[in-house]
Homo-oligomer: A and B are copies of this chain.
Amino acid sequence: MTDDQMTLQELKDRVATFVRERDWEQFHTPKNLSMSIAIEAAELMEHFQWLTVEQSQQLDETAQLEIGEELADIVIYSLSLANALKIELAETVLAKLAKNIRKYPKEQVQGKAHKYTYYQQQAEQK
């Protein structure tokens, strides 16, 4: 199945089934899931720990594959948390993107990586 066909709900359901069939809801509490996402994020980082930013853009096939697996783990735990807290993910992500669009107006932030507080300060100084 391609990313074009796969809906968020379908993927959430697959994860929910995996967890339920193992009677793991008792472990998949929000606290534990937040730790799990952070742990998998660190395993992802481990692949880039000693690379320059440039080297991180030229990965060999093995690294690419392993990194895909770590990313998958992050997505799986994220979906499990969405299930546990009954979060509508599409709506929540679109709302956050809209908020970021307001916080980082595209004309103003072109090619710059300041935090949004920087632009607030700039605006206040005018």
Contact = CB atoms under 8 A, between A and B. Distances in A.
User: Taking the full assembly, how many copies of this chain does it contain?
Assistant: 4
A39 to B, nearest CB: 5
A21 interface: yes
A2 B91 contact: yes
Q: Which DSSP category, helix, strand, loop or mixed, fits chain A's interface?
A: helix
A56 B30 contact: yes
B50 A113 contact: yes
Which of under 10, 10 to 19, 20 to 34, or 35 or more describes the interface residues of A? Answer: 35 or more
A5 B64 CA distance: 29
A26 B59 contact: no
A60 interface: no
Contact of A72 (B14, B48, B74, B96): B96
